[in-house]
A and B are shown apart, each in its own frame.
Chain A
Amino acid sequence: MRIGVTVFPGSNCDRDALYAIERTGAAPVELWHADADLKGVDAVVVPGGFSYGDYLRPGAIARFSKVMKPLEDFAKGGGPVLGVCNGFQVLTEAHLLPGALLRNVGMRFVCTRVPARVETAKTPWTSLFESGDRLTLPVAHNEGNYFADERTLRELEDEERVVLRYLDNPNGSLNDIAGICNAARNVVGLMPHPERVSEEALGSDEGLKVFESVLSFAGVRV
């Protein structure tokens, strides 16, 4: 299985994502922002960082990159897409996911590890988890405060599209939302960084399961 990682100018978790993917046994593929080509990958990770310097708004400029057009087609065709941190912000800006990520209510950048709960296993990126699983995951962001209008929030909850929920909310996110998926469930956005806890040498490998899930979902034995 080949998993692509988009690289925008200013992405800075791209190498970390490529490394974590390699550890699952899948082939990591770098997808350069200026190439309108997904190189035939089976899944795509939009990594964290500060694409285009977060200028204007996080993710607001990256969504117009050349690589985004085939990515949007891939997502609309049901291909598994995961946005992590800035990647989540890019996916909301591209309207592949609803809502927006606002400035943290503490008005400062927050880098810490937070307890969170997996709310649904029914996505390609959580298929190996069970709903209710507790994880401790790193967050590192300025704008992780999830916001959506009431109707959207209700839809997300009713359709079990909240994928991950904070047990100790670090940013003021509505309904303690740490991650969501689209209606078709193939596109997932997470504020926490699973790639940062993908091996015991870093204190925990709980996050690797996110990448292993997409392999398992695609029928690859993990």
Chain B
Amino acid sequence: MNVQETYTALGLSDFEYDRILELMGRAPNYLELSLFSVMWSEHCGYKNSRPLLKQFPNAGSRVLQGPGENAGVIEVGDGWALVFKMESHNHPSAVEPYEGAATGVGGIIRDVLAMGARPVALLDSLRLGPLEDERNRYLFREVVRGIGGYGNAIGVPTVGGEVEFAPAYSGNPLVNAMCIGLVRADDFLRARAVGEGNLVILFGAKTGRDGIHGATFASDELSEESEEKRPNVQVGDPFAGKMLVECSLNLLEKDLLVSLQDLGAAGITSSASEMAAKGGVGIEIDADLVPLREEGMQPWEIVISESQERMLAIVEPEKAEEVLCVAERFELAAAVIGRVSGHGDLLIRHEGEVAGTVSARHLADAPVYEREVVPPVYLEKAREPDLEKIPKPEDHGSALLAMLAHPNLCSRRSVYEQYDHEVGTDTVVLPGADAAVMRIKGTSIGFAATVDCRGRYCYLDPKGGGAAAVAEAYRNLSCVGAEPVALTDCLNFGSPEKADAYYQFASCIEGMAEACEVLGTPVVSGNVSLYNENEGEAVYPTPAVGMVGVFDDVGRMATPGIKREGDALVLVGDFRPALGGSEYLEVVHGRVVGAPAVPDLTSEKAVSDAVRRAISSGLVNTAHDLSGGGLAVALAEMSLMGSIGVEAQLPLPGVRQDVALFGEVGGCILLAVPEEKLGKLEAILEGVHHTQIGHTGGERLKVSGSVDLGLDELRAAYERDLFERHAPEGGHLG
């Protein structure tokens, strides 16, 4: 291979190679080139996204750490802080779904751990192609098994998440994992190498050849050849991960570490150069000292291997011995593999020789690309359907049943039952609600978390869809009664080198940033995943939002299930449903068209905040937002979760019944409240649109004479097993 072929194979462009020559003042050797290849990949270097991400607000009164560290940190109260981040593992999951998903979970747990926090909750955001396709069924089953396989074994509960299916994700599933950790607010760590002469200790699993060039692979489009990259996918060991968590927390408790960093994409290279760049120092690594799993590894393989379950610590020399002893107690490999130096280079030694030396600052300084934003042609087409011509359904009840049975709207029970959501004994609200609710032991405070995004909305209206994702997360947290504080994101898009995908990327971010400003929820961490394409077709733009909220009193929360017969049903918000981009259009009419309802952010905030006040005052404990499927689906879910029926009138006389029942709208929340508390509720809701639309009770869902269905019929449609086509014979159990 000539030089050009070599750097091209490593994913570097001519421009980038020239820049490396300029920075180094000489030609890099293969090891050095590999370092640049991984550190300048989109996955590590954010070269297409940095200018756009600047739009996000990052500060807030509860924000202790914004972007730039392994995870963001917010203050909860009583001296506690939450550490959280979301990350994608899309490409590995596309070729090796079980391990891809499992190591995605393992990786995000280590990010949180690196901040010194105990990981206490996981959430996932999944996107797959339709289940009619066998390959998609395989990917779905294995991704869910992989998440459970890792999360269940490591003992961190998977408390929430979402999954959606659309043809745009066929062949390129999205697997985003979010982890939340708990730490004393004074005790969290930053990944900074400091103190010349301090030692670098690698501990955890041994290093092997798995995951070589995984970061570069993650920053490329998927194609038939991707299957050949299966060996690039790492293999996870949750057992080692569990030991790594306990060992790291033990080391921190004993105050033995200066700083800590996980090894993710690009392995030792990325961890060491990030720590060095942030600390303004150099790090020297002796590749011969790294505990290896196999023989004959080249130094470049050792330093960029993505073997899982490893951490890098900076330790004062006099504490090194004790660190190694603690690692041994947890049956982990550990070794001093280098030291912090005064120069600013990442220097790799092998058999006594310098095998490579690169400025850590140069590695951390990937080139930045700003591209032109050109509105795509498809948007005009998508937006011009004549919705008047959409035929009215013959029977609204049958349409509702069809929607409840659709994989995008049916119960997620068959997914979350495969995840241990109770380990740790802090899960207050089990999965199935609008957001997960967790308590903090020994206090009355708690927190809530949700992950949200509507890919179809973002496709049809990138800016509005981006804002809607943030607004929906804000609303979901408010529905359980938590005060939304901050968010992490996972921005999944197609190739930024293509005009349509870049427009989607830039516009979604613009919409999200605006929503973050208005709603007061800064972005404290995040991840960018570009090149999500399969055979040249991009996924729907999918900026998944993972938002975290807090409770002063976690006892005052709400869930969607109806609790009592005879409660008044109150619809809060400006109810103006629209068919554009709705589940109804797709499920019942097979069309992905129209302009989705653009959220009115000011009204969104007013509605959510009022509902939250009603919950935290102890007045309301039943709330659910209108989301996919509109009012009818929301009412059905509340009935099914509480096993109590509903009788309601549609609040919009004169509007087409299907629009009122199934049309979608932001900023609307349903509450159920005892009649005698209506007066007090009215006072809290003053200034916010609200209407009483009916009562709870009975065993049927009756809406305005157009829907009249028994809960058993609804349940039969809704409670379906998403893996039913996989169930072994006779293997389906209730």
Contact = CB atoms under 8 A, between A and B. Distances in A.
Interface of A: 9-10, 12-13, 15-16, 19-20, 34, 48-50, 52-55, 104-112, 138, 140, 142, 168-172, 193, 195-196, 198, 201-203
B733 to A, nearest CB: 5
B422 A193 contact: yes
Interface string B694-734: 00000000000000000000000000000100011011111
B155 A108 contact: no
A142 B733 CA distance: 14
Nearest to B144: A108
B239 A19 contact: no
A201 B439 contact: yes
B145 interface: yes
Given A140-B420, A202-B425, 16 more contacts: A9-B243, A50-B238, A53-B239, A54-B153, A105-B731, A108-B145, A110-B418, A112-B417, A140-B152, A195-B425, A196-B422, A196-B425, A201-B428, A202-B427, A202-B428, A203-B428
B362 interface: no
Contacts of B240: 53
A109 B152 contact: yes
A184 B428 CA distance: 38
A136 B418 CA distance: 19
A20 B424 CA distance: 11
11 contacts: A12-B423, A20-B425, A50-B239, A106-B733, A108-B418, A111-B419, A111-B420, A170-B734, A196-B423, A201-B554, A202-B425
A195 B423 CA distance: 10
Contacts of A110: 417-418
B242 A10 contact: yes
Most chain A CB within 10 A, of B155, B422, B554, B723, is at B422
A109 B148 contact: yes
A62 to B, nearest CB: 12
A112 B417 CA distance: 6
Interface string B618-638: 000000000000000000000
A142 B148 CA distance: 10
B420 A109 contact: yes
B393 interface: no
Contact of A171 (B419, B421, B427, B733): B733
> How big is the B interface, by class?
35 or more
B733 A169 contact: yes
A184 to B, nearest CB: 30
A170 B417 CA distance: 11
Nearest to B442: A19
Interface in B276-335: 329-331
Kindly list the 10 A-B residue pairs having the minimum CB-CB distance in the complex, ordered from nearest: A12-B155, A53-B239, A50-B153, A140-B420, A16-B425, A106-B733, A109-B418, A196-B422, A111-B420, A10-B239
B201 interface: no
A201 B723 CA distance: 33
Contacts of B423: 12-13, 16, 48, 140, 196
A171 B441 CA distance: 31
A9 B727 CA distance: 33
B731 A19 contact: no
A12 to B, nearest CB: 3
Given A55-B239, A201-B428, A111 B441 contact: no
Contacts of A195: 425
A190 B733 CA distance: 20
B51 interface: no
B237 interface: yes
Contacts of A15: 424
A108 B722 CA distance: 13
B412 to A, nearest CB: 13
Contacts of A196: 422-423, 425
Contacts of B732: 106
Contact of B733 (A13, A54, A140, A170): A170
B272 to A, nearest CB: 28
Contact of A12 (B145, B153, B330, B733): B153
B154 interface: yes
A133 B149 CA distance: 34
B154 A12 contact: yes
Contacts of B734: 168, 170
B555 interface: yes
A114 to B, nearest CB: 10
Contacts of B145: 108
Contacts of A172: 733
Contact of A198 (B243, B418, B425, B730): B425
Interface string B135-153: 0000000000100110011
Contacts of A105: 730-731, 733
A201 B426 CA distance: 9
B204 to A, nearest CB: 13
Contacts of B148: 109
Kindly name the residue among A48, A50, A54, A55 whose own CB sees the greatest number of chain B CB atoms within 10 A: A50
B727 A106 contact: yes
B422 A12 contact: no
B249 to A, nearest CB: 11
A144 to B, nearest CB: 11
Contacts of B731: 105-107
Contacts of B152: 50, 109, 111, 140, 142
Contact of A140 (B149, B154, B331, B422): B422
Contacts of A34: 329
Contact of A201 (B149, B555, B727): B555
A202 B153 CA distance: 22
A9 to B, nearest CB: 6
A163 B732 CA distance: 26
A13 B555 contact: no
A104 B148 CA distance: 15
A49 B731 CA distance: 24
A70 B155 CA distance: 27
Nearest to A111: B420
Contacts of A109: 148-149, 152, 417-420
A107 B728 contact: yes
Interface string B198-242: 000000000000000000000000000000000000000111101
B206 to A, nearest CB: 15
B153 A53 contact: yes
A195 B425 CA distance: 8
A54 B237 CA distance: 11
Residue among A53, A142, A170 with most chain B CB within 10 A: A53
Nearest to A34: B329
A111 B733 contact: no
Contacts of A112: 417
A93 to B, nearest CB: 17
Nearest to B331: A9
A12 B425 contact: no
Contacts of B418: 108-111
A6 to B, nearest CB: 15
Nearest to B429: A203
Nearest to B425: A16
A170 B239 CA distance: 26
Contacts of B733: 104-106, 169-172
A104 B728 CA distance: 12
B583 to A, nearest CB: 27
B326 to A, nearest CB: 13
Contacts of B330: 9
B239 A52 contact: yes
Interface in B612-655: none
Task: Identify the interface centre among A9, A12, A55, A168: most chain B CB within 10 Å of its CB.
Answer: A12
Nearest to A114: B734
B242 to A, nearest CB: 6
Max chain A Cβ within 10 angstroms of own Cβ: one of B239, B723, B731: B239
Nearest to A55: B239
A145 to B, nearest CB: 10
B422 A138 contact: yes
Interface string B532-570: 000000000000000000000011000000000000000
Interface string B154-185: 11000000000000000000000000000000
